[in-house]
Amino acid sequence: MIRPVIAGNWKMNKTIAEAVDFATRLREALGSRDDREVIIAPPFTALQAVAEALRGSPIRLAAQNLHEAEKGAYTGEVSAAMLSEAGCACVIVGHSERRTLFGEGNERINRKLQATLTEGLQPIFCVGETLAEREAGRMPAVIEGQLKEGLNHLTADDIGETVIAYEPVWAIGTGRTASPGQAQEVHRLIRDWLGQQYGAGRAAETAILYGGSVTPKNISELMTQPDINGALVGGASLDVATFMEIIQYQ
Ligand code: PGA
């Protein structure tokens, strides 16, 4: 049984002071509850301060992106080792906003996944099709291509350290969520693919999160689906009370 994972992707929101305040209040609200794995992904600038605010709590800290190189002349970029030192346990890799707004392709994302794993951090690897791809009947090919190229060179042990997030691009920030059935279909496809590549055991143990307009209203129904193991939440993760409602879904 995979413990449900609820991860909050804050994107480019919250100052350091706001982030610390959020983390402090979330920690208090969560108490000793440990049947849900909770992750928050603040912007780079707030990571270290949030790590301090979360010290000793079960809430895990994630970065939203990284650079694949160890160090060097990459102005404006941040390495896996820097994130680890700042207190991160996880990194979101391959988010659709990185793919579309910042031109990250599968090969680059693959190098980022390898850098994340080499540093001992847990990747939250995002895949998802656009509306045009879905409407053209290309969803399965797009998802499989992202998995195949994104996970290239990764071993079964690496997969054991990796969380996957299915985020249909047409559902991100649009208020238009995939129906539980639509999401389940893709989660099943991802798990079947993982099973073929890495064995059924690994596939069954891999947490596959759904992301795209998740709210307190739709989380319970999404989580009834057998292959949905959690959620990657954007907009609804910015308010402690709303995020707590999602964490506490029944
Ligand atoms: P959203 O974002 O919940 O605001 O749709 C999800 C994401 O981009 O991870």
**Residue 128 region, left (φ>0) first, then alpha (ψ -120 to 50), else beta?**
left
DSSP-derived secondary structure for 228-245: --EEEESGGGSSHHHHHH
- For residue 126, the ligand 1 atom closest to its alpha carbon is 9
pTM for the structure as a whole: 0.97
Q: What is the DSSP letter of 59?
A: P
Ligand 1 pocket list (CB less than 6 A): 9, 167, 172-173, 211-214, 232-236
User: Tokens standing for 231?
Assistant: 């959620």
- What is the rounded average pLDDT of the residues 172-190? 93
Pocket test for ligand 1, best of 214, 215, 237 (most atoms within 8 A of CB): 214
Give the Cβ contact number of residue 145 at 10 Å: 14
In tens, the pLDDT along 50-99 reads 999 999 999 999 999 999 999 999 999 999 999 999 999 999 999 999 99
- What is the rounded average pLDDT of the residues 21-46? 97
